[in-house]
Amino acid sequence: MDKTQKIISLCKRRGFIFPSSEIYGGFGGVYDFGPLGVELKKNIKNAWLRAMTAEENIVPLDSAILMNSKVWQASGHLTAGFSDELVECKSCHKRFKLDEIKRNKCPECGGLVTKPRKFNLMMKTFIGPVENETTTTYLRAETCQGIFVNFLNILNSMRLKIPFGVIQIGKSFRNEVNPKNFIFRTREFEQMEMEWFCSPKEANRFFDFWAEKRIKWYFDLGIKKENLRVREVPEEERAHYAQRQIDIEYHFPFGWKEIEGIHNRGDFDLSNHTKHSGEDLKYFDEETKDKYFPYIIETSAGVERSLFAFLCEAYQEIKGGRTKTTKPTKEVEILLKFHKTLAPIKVAVLPLVRNKPELAKRAKEVYQMLKPNFTCQYDELGSIGRRYRRGDEVGVIASVTCDFQTLEDNTVTIRERDSMKQIRVEISKLKEVIQKILAGEEFLKLGKIVK
Ligand code: GAP
């Protein structure tokens, strides 16, 4: 099994990600996020929100997925700008993107393929009960269009001055021809986008400013330097709206792939929406008395793609196991070494043994005490070693064990995921100690070391 397959299987087994509609045979290019996937996604989105709103002049928006179809006419998404070139195999009738085909042969069965045809990626839907032209619209293909069409609403209601940014997290949909690589390319996904409105003169400077911030964000959350690179996208490959584009790429097991795009969209969006809507979306600068279309610098990250990158980065296999045993073992232990901010479960609470009701009772009390403050799980099944490993497999940061000493002196042990070292602390100080562990303080200094 290759690394991607191992991650897919772990994700299903441990409740991160499930194939959509699985009991009906699945549904291509769509996935469901299970309990741990929800936590991980939430942590990624919160980390993004925190990083973006740490900057000046950033406001949020939550615009609708459904919009007037004229938006997509103006944005260029219904024209050639947002389509893939497709070929179809004359034998097996499977469809492929043109760039996946070598020498006019089907990669699956070797049959001859048709000439390429354009295939629009917008997901069509119908509003109201009658399916005709006037009721047709599309599920949004990028969240940013909601920001552009609300430009004046946001500017005026919030009394903003340029430069300012609008951030939004939400679902986008693309009828991808060939969804593949697990959650890397799907038909339904979430984007975290920021549109920074600035004077055309300052666009280049802000492009560099935001690119640097976004790259640093991945490093801060544990992506290694050697697994991230930036690609300057040449003109012929750029998105139809982009004057300049860089792709932030992650080194996935299946190659270097884009996880985020940074775009200088110039005045493409505001000028086109002005043309199509008849509303003047120019900005009036009170000081200089200039009236102009602001330029837009966009940072556009995929929630699932970054989640997949964080999963790949965190995934480790330890042959023979991490725990010292007297006899060598063939077991492979899995460790998801997530950054502390991202780990879906921060604390596991474990009674040392299950069959001592007073231990289980105490452990449940500790669990109830910690639950309002940290994402916690209570686990009493199997040996303590097995439970530690189950926690490691999903990246639990701290495992709190109630043992016989707990009943005597109200102390518990905490085992830290990465070092597997243990300290003993008083239950009354537990919350504070866990907070310090999560804040990155030196673990062994936070309690009495257990030898
Ligand atoms: N508003 C600009 C925009 O949408 P994009 O490069 O087409 O730019 C931005 O998309 C990001 O959205 C990508 O870098 C990727 O992370 C995510 N994304 C795009 N298509 C996706 C798909 N089919 N499946 C999963 N994520 C996707």
Per-residue pLDDT tens listing for the chain (451 residues): 899 999 999 999 999 999 999 999 999 899 999 999 999 999 999 999 999 999 999 999 999 999 999 999 999 999 866 888 889 899 998 888 887 887 889 988 999 999 888 888 999 999 988 877 778 999 999 999 999 999 999 999 999 999 999 999 999 999 998 888 999 999 999 999 999 999 999 999 999 999 999 999 999 999 999 999 999 999 999 999 999 999 999 999 999 999 999 999 999 999 999 999 999 999 999 999 999 999 999 999 999 999 999 999 999 999 888 776 556 667 889 999 999 999 999 999 999 998 999 999 999 999 999 999 999 999 999 999 999 999 999 999 999 999 999 999 999 999 999 999 999 999 999 999 999 999 999 999 999 999 8
Ordered strands of the 95-97 beta sheet? 95-97, 83-88, 117-120
Q: What count of residues does the chain have?
A: 451
Residue 247 β-bridge partners: 231, 261
Closest CA to 300 of 272, 275, 269: 269
Structure tokens given for 91: 């034998």
What is the 281 CA–ligand 1 centroid distance (Å)?
26
Is 437 in contact with 416 (CB distance < 8 Å)?
Answer: yes
Pair type for strands 411-416 and 398-402? antiparallel
> Which uninterrupted H or E stretch holds 398?
strand 398-402
CATH 3.40.50.800 in the chain is located at 345-450
Q: How many CB atoms lie within 10 A of CB 432?
A: 11
> Which uninterrupted H or E stretch holds 345?
none
Nearest CA to ligand 1 atom 4: 142
pTM above threshold 0.85: yes
CATH 3.30.930.10 in the chain is located at 3-65+141-311
Q: What interhelical angle do 35-53 and 303-314 show, nearest 10?
A: 110
Q: Which residues line ligand 1 (CB under 6 A)?
A: 142, 144, 174, 176, 185-186, 189, 191, 193, 258-261, 298, 300-302, 304-305
What is the 193 CA–ligand 1 centroid distance (Å)?
10
What is the 191 CA–ligand 1 centroid distance (Å)?
7
Closest CA to 179 of 121, 237, 137, 241: 121
The whole-angstrom separation of Cα 154 and Cα 31 is 33
Backbone angles phi, psi at 178, to 5 degrees: -135, 75
The whole-angstrom separation of Cα 230 and Cα 249 is 6
Q: How many CB atoms lie within 10 A of CB 227?
A: 16
CATH node for 3-65+141-311: 3.30.930.10
Separation of first and last alpha carbons in the chain: 38
Which CATH number fits the domain 345-450, given the four candidates 3.40.50.2300, 4.10.93.10, 3.40.50.800, 2.60.40.3120? 3.40.50.800
The whole-angstrom separation of Cα 72 and Cα 397 is 45
Type of residue numbered 130 = V
Nearest CA to ligand 1 atom 20: 185
